[in-house]
Amino acid sequence: MKRLRFGTAGWRRYLASLPRAGRPDRRVERVVASILDSVRREGDRALVRLTARFDRVRLTPRTLRVRPAELRALARRADRTLVRALRGMAERIEAFHRRQRDDGFALRLPDGSRLEEVVTPLDSVALYVPGGAGAYPSSVLMNAIPARVAGVARVQIVTPPRALEASPGLAAAMAIAGVTESVFRVGGAQAVAACAYGTRTVPAAAKIVGPGNAFVAEAKRQVRGTVEIDQDAGPSEVVILADHTADAGFVAADLLAQAEHGSGDETVVLVTPSDELADEVARLVRLGVRSVANQASARRALARFAAIVRVRGLDEGVAAVNALAPEHAQVMTRDARRVASRVIAGAVFVGPYAPVAAGDYGIGPNHVLPTGGTARHASPLSVRDFQRRGSRVEMTRLGLLRVTEGMVRVAMAEGFRGHAQSLLTRFEGEP
C-alpha cells in the first residue's frame, strides 16, 4: 500500500491515477456497433448466430427463452442453506426499498387550479445478469426487487446461455425475486441489443440495468437514448476513515474484502491521523492477502490503487474521503455518527460493526452504487430508478388570468410572441 500525505503532490497524482469510467478502445466500439446492427436487422437469427459464435452454444429461437418450469427446476438444484440465506436477504432488501415508494403530490391553489407530480412505474425493465466469475445471486436481488417494488409490470432477465446451469443460485434468486416468466438465454452485447430494439422472442424494454463486461458496458452506452440505462459501473472502492480508537484487524479485513473482487483495479484506502494504526493495518494487510479470493488480482489492486493517507485530524480526514467520493466509505472513529454525517460516498458505514460486506449481502440498502468519484452527484440504485415522474397541470380561468400578465412579459422578453398569444387569446374580447 502506498503511503501518502493529504494535500501533497503525491496525493494529487494518486487521485489522478484512479480508475474512472471512460470509453473503451476503438476495437470494442466497432465490434459492439456491428453486433447492435446485426440484432436490429436480423432479430432472433442474429441472437442465435452470435450465441454460437461467442458462447459456443447452439440455440434456436424457441430455446432462447427459459421456460418457467425449467427455471424452477434449476432453482431447486441450489444449495438449500444458500436459498434460505437469499430469502432472508430478499426480505431485508424489500423492507428497506418499500420505504422508498413515493406517490407524488398534488398542490391545490386558492383559485381552484391543481398542480400535480405524478409518479408511475416504468412499463418494462431488463436486467442483465452476468455468468461465469461474475455470477452473483445477490445482484439479482438488488436489481430485481426495487423494480418489482416500484410496480414495473414486466421485469425480464438476459443472462449468458450456460449461466443458470453453472450457477443454480442465480435461478434461485430469480425465483425468490419473482422473475420467472421472462428469462432469456442470451448474453453479451447482443443481449443488450435485444432488450433495446426487441426481437420476435425478446421484447424491448424501457430501461436496462445490471453489470457486465466491457462489451456489455459499451453496448449500453451505444443504445442510450433508444432505451434508458443505469450508470456505468467501475471497479469496487472502499475508503476507511479511522482514528486511534479503531481496531486494526477490522480495518485490514475490510480493505482486503474489497481488494478481492477480482478486477485488479479496486481502490482500497485508509485515511487516518494515527501512525500506529497505519503501521499495524499495513502489516495485517500484507499477511491477510494470502487468505482472500482472487489472490493474484487482489495483490495487483493493492500494488496499484491501495493507499494509506495520513491526515492531521478528522476534519482533514473527511476532506480526503470527500475528495475521493468513493463507492463505499467506512467511519471507525470516536463520535463516528457525527463524523459520518459529513462524508460523501455512495454508501456510508458507521462504526466498527457496520462493514461494507453487510451492505453487499443485503442488510437492506442497495449495493448497486456510484463509483469512480461519481458519488458527488449520483445515487444508489433505488425504487426511484424504476419510476418516471411527470407533471399534470389543471388550471381554472381565474388561475390562468392571475398569472397571464407576468407570463406574457417574460415570453415577449424572450422573443416568443406565439407563446404570449397562446396565453392572451383566452381573454381576447374581454374588458
Task: Just list the catalytic residues.
Answer: 327-328
What are the grid coordinates assigned to 222, written together?
A: 451505444
What are the grid coordinates assigned to 19, written together?
A: 480508475
Q: Which of 346, 130, 385 is nearest to 258 (CA)?
A: 346
Q: Which of 351, 364, 334 is nearest to 96 (CA)?
A: 364
Give the relative orientation of helices 168-177 and 68-75 as an angle to the nearest 10 degrees.
120
